[in-house]
Amino acid sequence: MPDQLLYAMEVSLNGLMAGIMYSLVALGFVLIFKASGIFNYAQGVLALFAALTLVGLQQGQIPFSHVINAIFGTELHSFGWTLPALVAIALTALVMVGLAWLIERLVLKHLVNQEPIILFMATIGLAYFLEGLGDVMWGADIKKLDVGLPQGISETIDAITFNAFGYGFFIDRLDIVAAVVAALLVASLTLFSQYTKYGRALRAVADDHQAALSVGISLRFIWVLVWSIAGFVALVAGIMWGSKSGVQFSLSLIALKALPVLMLGGFTSIPGAIVGGLIIGMGEKLFEFFAGPLIGGATENWFAYVLALLFLVFRPQGLFGERIIERV
Amino acid sequence: MFYREAGDFKTSYVDDSQTFPIRFDRMRYYAVLVLGFGILPFVMNDYWANAVFVPFLIYAIAAIGLNILTGYCGQVSLGTGGFMAVGAYACYKLMTAFPWMPMPVNVLLAGLVTAGVGVLFGLPSLRIKGFYLAVATLAAQFFLVWLFNKVPWFYNYSASGQITAPERTLLGVAVTGASTPAWAKYLFCAVFLFALAWLARNLTRGTVGRKWMAIRDMDIAAEIIGVNPLTTKLSAFAVSSFYIGIAGALFFAVYLGAAEVGEAFGIQKSFLILFMVIIGGLGSIFGSFAGAAFLVLLPVLLKNLLVGGLGWPTDLAAHIELMIVGALIIVFLILEPHGLAQLWRVAKEKLRLWPFPH
């Protein structure tokens, strides 16, 4: 086979893997948008906050030590322990649930029945707040996240493809883990929403708030639940992205990567988030591969958006979104 | 007592439909003009001009522009930073290509160029609505910033990739460049703001503005009563981008002097201006002023308080500032989702009845 084609295949495979990482973030958006109609811009910052908390707990950092040191002149830094990864993940999940409860209690409860744009702005405010809080709690330096996920080139795939084509593909083992985790996540979310009592309540709320209230479903509990799940998804995304590129401020910007995925897949569809992620991931890698050298490179910043924009002109609700029906 | 319509007799239709029908409001308006153009330029110094007044004036122009699009016409846009960049780069290219051209002409032409780009990116709004459109405008943001970064023609092949405003004078006084006096910066922006705000106020209460609002309130119903959505939406995009382009040109040429596109006109700028519009009040010109003033003053105050007052390290103060700004935005949205303009309306209503309760 010609080299060019092999490279293109490798690039598109890597694109698919990157797309799965985008989908992980997009999933959190879809969950919250479906259940409460809130376009949650803070999802990326939630992932950053989760990753920061995970690293902090694992390495036994003292929260707010910077502030305490600045005010009282002390030299506090660390409790001096190292938690096993699973314990730290469980604790972080608890923190995310607590955070979901606080968000419902302090923010959403007061904003019921507001216009969508107001709610959207509130989540941007929330994003600012969490970004500041994460830095104040755990410090702003770049941290290394290591929960024991495999990293580096996958020799198996390298060997298989080398035998098949005479050229070994480079696939990061972390990306493969991410793909498996994403598949598990989607499967368990689907099972949860189809076969459990709370899952059904969740779908009822997504369908019609008032009807759900009238059959005795507590909206506020559902919101805490859905924000907790979104927090958990953010934790998973934070672990994956954090292991890949370190825990730092730029992690919160993955929200911006997830937005075109959402547009393409539709704001209300979980499979849409996955398929959209795959299309965007592969599309932007291939475009960069073929057209990038001609027009100056770094096209990944905008290609996804332009692709999604062009797509929306033909199908305004995205691939799998609910059809927009307007009545006067 | 002094704030009411009673006793203020109108004898012509022109009088009857003026912007400020209450005498006290008119007096207040003239007082603000006298303060803004008669007193402030003479007492302006560098710190106040650079930290407070010039950014306030420029952001107010941008906020009015975005308010026309989002507040009056109902099209949420997150591409403001990109459009400001178009204004800035158009102004830079005009300044360097035609050195003899007077600065106000440059700024206005930059606005027109931005209006054209705005219409182009506004085309999808005919198909896409709501949040899908908001995210779609991000395409403009990222694409434009990338374009100005990657095509060297836009920054005249300078080695740093930055654009730097050369010195240009107006009536013998420098208005751009390093040796610009503080009062000239202030006055140059203030004249633009005054003219544009006056224009916006009158546009929004005329035919064009009413069409925008009809589209905002319900586009299908508006279409049925004969409002053409194509021209209405695109005119909103054009006018809004014109304002934002002028703001971008001033921001680069007068305020910054030198700019790097990703830093000066990134996505954060889009959010900042959207915040100004929301906190000020959607669909209100006064709200744009109030929102711009609030978000320009708040960081200055917090910084003075935390770093100057409490003596905390700068990076910690920056993070705390972020938290406070975020929390304040949420608190604000909870307490008054219609923004500062609504508080102002309520206050005026109270004042009209005062001292009687009903």
pLDDT digit string, tens, across residues A66-79: 777 777 766 666 66
pLDDT of amino acid B13: 86
Q: Measure the CA–CA gap between B198 and B192, rounded to whole angstroms.
A: 10
Q: Do A312 and B127 touch (CB under 8 A)?
A: yes
User: Of all residues in chain A, what percent carry a pLDDT higher than 70?
Assistant: 86
Q: Tens digit of pLDDT for each residue in B304-354?
A: 887 777 767 777 777 888 888 888 888 888 888 788 888 888 888 888 887
- Which of A122, A295, A312 is facing B128, going by the closest CB pair? A312
Q: Is residue B261 part of a domain?
A: yes
Q: Is residue B255 part of a domain?
A: yes
Alpha helices in chain A (DSSP H): 3-36, 43-58, 65-72, 85-106, 116-138, 155-165, 173-195, 197-207, 209-214, 219-245, 254-265, 270-290, 292-295, 300-314
> What is the identity of the amino acid at B86?
V
pLDDT of amino acid B235: 92
Tell me: pLDDT of A168 over 70.
no
- Which of A296, A313, A317 is facing B124, going by the closest CB pair? A313
Q: Do A124 and B319 touch (CB under 8 A)?
A: no
Tell me what the mean pLDDT of segment B290-315 comes to: 81
Q: Do B149 and A298 touch (CB under 8 A)?
A: yes
Tell me: pLDDT of A239 over 60.
yes
Q: Is residue B310 part of a domain?
A: no
Tell me: pLDDT of A297 over 70.
no
Q: Do B326 and A129 touch (CB under 8 A)?
A: yes
Domain that holds residue B104: 21-266
From the number of C-beta atoms within 10 Å of its C-beta (0-12, 13-18, 19+), residue B25 rates as middle
Q: Measure the CA–CA gap between A274 and A19, rounded to whole angstroms.
A: 8
Q: Tens digit of pLDDT for each residue in A83-126?
A: 777 888 888 889 889 998 998 888 888 887 777 778 888 888 89
Tell me: pLDDT of B115 over 90.
yes
> Contact at 8 Å (CB) between A244 and B123?
no
Q: Is residue B304 part of a domain?
A: no
Tokens of residue A146, six digits:
């290591």
Q: Tens digit of pLDDT for each residue in B148-180?
A: 888 878 787 777 778 877 777 778 777 777 777
B129 CB neighbours in chain A (<8 A) are: 316, 324
Chain A interface mutation, best of B329, B335, B336, B342, highest count of A Cβ atoms under 10 Å: B329
- Of A165-174, A246-255, B326-335, give the range with the top mean pLDDT: B326-335
Q: Tens digit of pLDDT for each residue in B179-226?
A: 777 888 888 888 899 999 999 988 988 889 999 999 888 888 888 898
H/E run at residue B323: helix B314-335
Provide the domain count of chain B: 1
Q: Is residue B347 part of a domain?
A: no
Q: Is residue B284 part of a domain?
A: no
pLDDT of amino acid A327: 66
> Which of A250, A302, A325, A4 shows the shortest CA–CA distance to B129?
A325
> Contact at 8 Å (CB) between A82 and A3?
no
Q: Tens digit of pLDDT for each residue in A279-290?
A: 888 888 888 777
Query: What are the respective helix, strand and coil percentages of chain B, to the nearest 5?
Result: 75, 5, 25
Q: Measure the CA–CA gap between B278 and B317, rounded to whole angstroms.
A: 25
CA dihedral B242, B248, B251, B252 (to 10 degrees): -130
The band of B238, judged by pLDDT with boundaries at 50, 70 and 90, is very high
Tokens of residue B226, six digits:
């004969």
Q: Is residue B13 part of a domain?
A: no
Q: Measure the CA–CA gap between A84 and B96, rounded to whole angstroms.
A: 61
The Cβ of residue B136 has, within 10 Å, a number of other Cβ atoms equal to 30
B145 CB neighbours in chain A (<8 A) are: 301
The band of A40, judged by pLDDT with boundaries at 50, 70 and 90, is confident
Q: Do A114 and B337 touch (CB under 8 A)?
A: yes
Q: Is residue B243 part of a domain?
A: yes
B272 CB neighbours in chain A (<8 A) are: none
Nearest residue on chain B to A65, alpha-carbon basis: B316
pLDDT of amino acid A52: 86
Distance from CA of B266 to the nearest CA of A (A): 12
pLDDT of amino acid A88: 81
Q: Do A259 and B337 touch (CB under 8 A)?
A: no
Q: Do A312 and B149 touch (CB under 8 A)?
A: no
The Cβ of residue B169 has, within 10 Å, a number of other Cβ atoms equal to 15
Give B274's Cβ-side CA count (13 Å radius). Answer: 24
Tell me: pLDDT of B64 over 90.
yes
Distance from CA of A115 to the nearest CA of B (A): 9
Tell me: pLDDT of A1 over 60.
no
- Which of A39, A132, A267 is facing B322, going by the closest CB pair? A132
